[in-house]
Amino acid sequence: MERALDLTNNGPVVLLTDYQTPAAIHRSGLTRIEAWLRNRRVRGAADLAKTVVAAAEEQLTALPGEKLAATMEVCLAKGGNGPR
């Protein structure tokens, strides 16, 4: 997913505050993610949702430590220093 997202833009950073893993993206699906992004006034919500869902579909392997990494991503995306 990291290759599919441009983290210098605000939209992908907002996305990472709630959706960090392919499993979370699969559970929510395209429509819900797009609506979630629109509610947060992310520009290009439809395109970003399509991009992240497509990237999640390509990533079939769950890695050890994925949940910890997801927690750290949330903290960093929100401007924090990491989990406490």
Q: Would you say residue 71 lies in a domain?
A: yes
Q: Would you say residue 4 lies in a domain?
A: no
Which range of residues forms the domain containing residue 53? Answer: 10-77
Taking the chain (84 residues) in runs of 10, the rounded mean pLDDT of each run is 85 89 91 97 97 89 66 68 49
pLDDT of residue 22: 87
Q: Would you say residue 1 lies in a domain?
A: no
**Total of domains in the chain:** 1
Q: Let me know: does 4 contact 55? Beta carbons within 8 Å.
A: yes
Q: Would you say residue 2 lies in a domain?
A: no
Q: Would you say residue 3 lies in a domain?
A: no
pTM above 0.85, yes or no: no
Question: Strand, helix or coil at 51?
Answer: helix
The residue behind tokens 């950073």 is 13
